[in-house]
Amino acid sequence: MNDLRSANLNGKTVALRCDLNVPTDSLGNVADDTRLLAALPTLEYIAAAGAKVLLFAHFKRPKGSTDPTMSLQRLGPVLSAHLGRRVEFATDCIGAPVIDALSRIHVGEVVLAENVRFHPGELENDPTFAQALAAPADVYVNDAFGAAHRSHASVVGLANLLPAYPGFLLRSEVETLTSRLEDPKRPLVAVIGGAKISTKLGVVCALLDKVDTLLVGGGMANTFLASQGHNMQQSLVEAQMVTQACDIMNLAKSKGVHIALPTDGVMGSDTSEDPLIETHQVTRIPVAWAMFDIGPITADHFSTYLAEAGTVVWNGPMGMAERPAFAKGTIKIAQAVSTSSGYSIVGGGDSVAALKKTGLLDSIDHVSTGGGASLELLEGKLLPGIAALT
């Protein structure tokens, strides 16, 4: 990868791809500005280097056509306030609106272009669309780590049309997530949770070649427990993954990797808003109840591994952490990860949200801004957006 600091940006128009896909509340206001703040250093660097910035981003998942509820327009003033620089909005990401907006700004200022996913050519990496994005720009910088696993026009296509550089955020994500796991300080302990094995199978298998201990919680643990013969009653279990879960347990054994599963859990009598709640051993789930969190014994057990770890990787909550009754396991793990003397890496939207709620985010060494992208990188995959920069 080129070094952005070696690029001459003075007087240039720089197409900068950022990940501004922030969560919003019911009124459409920014609910969590982590990604926005993470985009600022590169944006500021390019503006301060004497360039006009043409900022490209996507927002939510429009189906290749304009959807006013998914407009990037309202992020303009927020960005401008953070940067202390003028941000002009362009009502489209290609053509006359971009040219007009660029003509209205000076160097050191920003044009925020409308959602690139309003065009079907973005997802298809259509060459004509990529050309149209590239047309007003002299240089391309990709800082959208959260989109680096996508072969889209503004991620891959632009990199092939213009001199291309990684932004500071993308570079630091890639360097941290690869170098820290290439030759990790041991023991390397991974905590994996979240709803389903099926979405994280790749990363779980890849981690077996790297970790010393794998701690499994969340809904995913239910399927592992089922594969070991436990009756999980009404707990979320992926029936079609039970055999795979069993294979993973056996593979781990043959590789000398210790997989720790929950031994107790917080159970609910049903899936309603207000179920009866009791803590039981996983061998004694009441009939028709479901497990929604790891129990206190499991949380303490997992925490002892985390305390002694040289490196910790955490992805996915230990239970339905969005509900206070089932958040205790995740909170305990968040505390254990944040107080571990090892180097800590956390990725995944729901895990980061849980850390934020507990105010522990600042004690984590590396909080990844990419969910899918960080998982694919941990799997050892070459991400298209990064391959295009090298």
Minimum distance, C-beta of residue 286 to ligand ADP, in the bound complex (Å): 15
CB closer to ligand ADP out of 122 and 264: 264
Active site residue 35: yes
Which residue, 166 or 194, has its beta carbon nearer to Mg ion?
Answer: 194
Pinpoint the alpha helices (H) of the chain: 34-48, 75-83, 96-104, 120-124, 127-134, 158-161, 168-182, 201-208, 218-227, 242-255, 296-307, 328-339, 349-357, 372-378, 384-387
- Asked if residue 317 binds ligand ADP (CB under 6 A), the reply is yes
Question: Which one of Mg ion, ligand ADP, none interacts with residue 209, CB within 5 to 8 A by kind?
Answer: none
Helix (H) or strand (E) holding 13: strand 13-17
- Interface with ligand ADP includes 291 (CB under 6 A)? yes
Q: Which of the following is catalytic: 64, 202, 310, 349?
A: 349
Residue 175 CB, shortest distance to Mg ion, in Å, is: 24
- For residues 355 and 389, which CB has a smaller minimum distance to ligand ADP in the complex? 355
Q: Which is the catalytic residue, given 64, 371, 372, 380?
A: 372
Name the nearest CA neighbour of 115 among 132, 91, 83, 139. 91
Inter-CA distances, 157 with 21, 135, 385, Å: 20, 12, 9
Q: Can residue 193 be called a binding residue for Mg ion (CB under 5 A)?
A: no
Please choose which of Mg ion, ligand ADP, none residue 295 contacts, taking the beta carbon within 5 to 8 angstroms, the exact cut-off set by kind: none
Annotation marks residue 196 as catalytic = yes
Residue 316 engages ligand ADP in binding (rule: CB under 6 A): yes
Q: Which of 196, 356, 357, 381 is catalytic?
A: 196
Cα separation, 62 vs 71, whole angstroms: 10
* CA dist list (Å): 302 to 38, 230, 252, 258, 326: 31, 20, 17, 12, 17
Q: Please tell me the distance from the alpha carbon of residue 332 to that of residue 295, in angstroms, as a whole number.
A: 10
Choose the catalytic residue: 35, 117, 150, 200: 35
Q: Which is nearer to ligand ADP, 110 or 291 (CB)?
A: 291
Query: Residue 261 CB, nearest distance to ligand ADP (Å)?
Result: 13
| Sign of the alpha-carbon dihedral angle for 280, 282, 288, 289 | positive
CA distances for 199 relative to 158, 192, 205, 370, 372, angstroms: 29, 12, 12, 15, 10
Main-chain dihedrals φ then ψ at residue 102, nearest 5 degrees: -65, -35
Choice from 350, 352, 353, 376 touching Mg ion (CB under 5 A):
350
Amino acid at 240: Q
Question: Which residue of 89, 129, 168, 292 would you call a contact of ligand ADP, by CB under 6 A?
Answer: 292
Residue 195 found at the interface with ligand ADP (CB under 6 A): yes
Task: Decide if 266 contacts 279 (C-beta within 8 A).
Answer: yes
Closest to ligand ADP by CB, 71 or 227: 227
Active-site positions? 35, 196, 349, 372
Residues that bind ligand ADP (CB under 6 A): 194-195, 218-219, 236, 291-292, 315-317, 319-320, 322, 348-351, 371
